[in-house]
Amino acid sequence: MDVTPMPLSGKVPVIRMEQIEQDVLDAGPEIADQLANWGFMAAEVPGIGEKVERMMTEFASACLSPEPRLSDYEFSRVPQLAAGGTHGYFSYLSEIPRLAEGVPDPKEFIHVSGAMLEDRPPHAGDVLSAFPTFGDAARDVFGLAFRTISGFGEVVRGIMPPGTPEFELSRDATNLRVIYYRDVNGREVLAHEHSGIQMLGLQLPSSDQGLQYILHDGTWVEPVIAKTDIVLCNIGRMLTHASSGQFRPSTHRVHCSNTGGDYTRLSSVMFAYPPHKARQWQMVDGELMTLDATWGDFIAKRFEGLGGQQAQGSTD
């Protein structure tokens, strides 16, 4: 499949880890232009790639560990908290996306929520204690990613009509998904075309290329983010709903050119949500409308009728 590479390093705003909030604010006009022209946003965060790589490598090691075993902490066994979403480990071949025709993705992954990092409810963080080097790395990346995605959220809110409420992204409800693709068995499509449910998503540097986006003009491009310090910010369907369609969801997919049996790919993405119990809202013709439903209801409705074990968010 012929998809145009999209180099970004040195061409997008630089966001320094020590002053993320101010740098994102200063880069607001450029980020707004990205969203208008591409349908997603991008920045370079010097040093984040090394932290993300460490976290992903530790997760891959945990996946291969015979004792302790990640399978002891599968999604169905971990206590779930409405405010913390579906945190926990999801085993290999456990997710079947809508367009996959019943075939599960060749991956396993973990969701680390802010609530899980605080061990809420009790024992939710046991998996992080069992794999402490992964837990420490995930905590570090979660903090940086949440600050970054919150900054992008403020830029997007500034584009919306006056009176748009704060997005109130919740650390507890937000999930950091770390993904380990393996045993692809000749498959080129690792994740079918999709968009996320969340308010905003933050794609972090992956171990290999393959993440592709469709631009507003219908062109598919492949942003160069593997083994870099580039992060991409997606619009999720929650925000499309809240903005009454002012922003379309950032549609993307994951392909790979190396389809050998020993191919592996590590990636990670943050799904940022408001509190699940908070009331939904919409900006309609410049006016704020509060709806008689929660954001948790929004999530539940999007999963009605899906087959297989499903995880909150998208399949990046």
pLDDT in tens, 204-249: 999 999 999 999 999 999 999 999 999 999 999 999 999 999 999 9
Flag whether 42 is in a domain.
Answer: yes
Flag whether 307 is in a domain.
Answer: no
pLDDT in tens, 242-281: 999 999 999 999 998 776 668 999 999 999 999 989 999 9
Specify the pTM: 0.93
Average model confidence (pLDDT) across the chain? 90
Flag whether 315 is in a domain.
Answer: no
Flag whether 230 is in a domain.
Answer: yes
Which residues form the domain of 131? 4-302
Closest of 77, 75, 114 to residue 95, by C-alpha? 75
Closest of 177, 137, 178 to residue 48, by C-alpha? 137
CATH number of residue 262's parent domain:
2.60.120.330
Structural domains counted in the chain: 1
Rounded-to-integer distance, Cα 57 and Cα 250, Å: 27
Rounded-to-integer distance, Cα 175 and Cα 228, Å: 22
Structure tokens that stand for 232 in this block: 């991409």
Flag whether 309 is in a domain.
Answer: no
* Beta strands per DSSP E along the chain: 4-6, 41-44, 88-90, 107-113, 175-181, 189-194, 200-203, 211-214, 220-223, 230-235, 252-255, 265-272, 279-284, 287-294
3-state secondary structure of 234: strand
Flag whether 201 is in a domain.
Answer: yes
Flag whether 160 is in a domain.
Answer: yes
Flag whether 97 is in a domain.
Answer: yes
Q: How confident is the model at residue 186 (pLDDT cuts 50, 70, 90)?
A: confident
3-state secondary structure of 219: coil
